[in-house]
Amino acid sequence: MKKLFLFFFYFLLTLSLQANTVTHLKIEGAIGPSTSLYLSEGFAYALENNSTLILLSLDTPGGLSSSMREMIQEILNTSIPVVIYVSPKGARAASAGTYLMYASHIAVMAPGTNIGAATPINLIKAPNAQDINVSKTSLQKKVINDSVAYIKSLAQLRDRNISWSIDAVKEGKSLSAVDALKKGVINMIAENEDELIKSLEGKRLTLSKQSLTLSLKNAQHLYYKPDWKNRLLSIITNPSIAYILLMLGIYGIFFELLHPGSIYPGIIGLISGVLALYALNILPFSFAGLLLILIGIILMITEVFVSGFGILDLAGLISFSLGSLLLFDADTLG
């Protein structure tokens, strides 16, 4: 009987600990498909562990709009309150980071950080031969107006400063942490995460039209870190690397068309092009992975019939490996 009592006591204690956990996520660098994947997996991890709060530490210069919108959808549709904390000191929530801050349930900044400069820009911008200083094209105006409407809807949803959010998009304005607090862009300033957790204790917020009071005393803190696959993909999907891959893809295929039979420029261009389309969030990871695996198989079969001195086999293996990396999770690959 005593053992049975101890078992139930341990079971109830475990449930009570799991019922009050805080999941910590951390995003550094440019926003891209790998960042969106990490956030989605982190949110799933928080749900599995019955977290009462998700604390996302953010330091980003911006990134891809498509990946940013995927992340915002995750934030807006989660059943767990999300606190985004721009940290450490010297960090920033620029461009896409500004939209993420506006989407969060509670926006916090460390002293010495900044937010803003949310004007959307094209990764590849063709110069105007007639006049470099001409007014915005119709396409640019559409993108600006769409971005203004988007951040305005987030500001209305979270009851944050609407006029400044519009200025951040249209005029690229930025604010320090102190000014952001004064203007109602963020909810609070915190020196560190410990101070932030103490400040959040007892704070009331609305989630899914229901009032919620945060209770974080004795909360268990869980840290979800990106695995090796996500870290590798974050390098590939960095906008600067994506741009290089895109150029390699274009010039490799172009060179192959000019000099048929060269083979190697075409192979490099094809693999780089598929990776670039994934990195720019144009091609879903499932399609990109299948394409790379298919290219890899074709190259390895071609090596049997065409003497490529092992180069085709090597290129096929690289393509197959990259495709597997996109399709399968890190545990399966490991």
- Which residues participate in catalysis according to the annotation? 95, 142
Left, alpha or beta for 204 (phi > 0: left; psi -120 to 50: alpha)?
beta
The C-alpha atoms of residue 285 and residue 81 are separated, in whole angstroms, by 28
Phi, then psi, of 125 in degrees rounded to 5:
-120, 115
Query: How is residue 91 written in tokens?
Result: 């960090």
Check if the beta carbon of residue 294 is closer than 8 Å to that of residue 318. Answer: no
Residue 249 CB neighbours (<10 A): 20
Are the C-beta atoms of residues 66 and 31 closer than 8 Å to each other?
no
* Distance, CA of 186 to CA of 184 (rounded, Å): 5
Residues forming a β-bridge with 244:
none
Question: 311 burial class (0-12, 13-18, 19+ CB within 10 angstroms)?
Answer: middle
Pair of tokens at residue 292 = 């790379």
Kindly state the tokens that stand for 207: 């989630």
In DSSP notation, 250-302 reads: HHHHHHHHHSTT--HHHHHHHHHHHHHHHHTTSS-HHHHHHHHHHHHHHHHHH
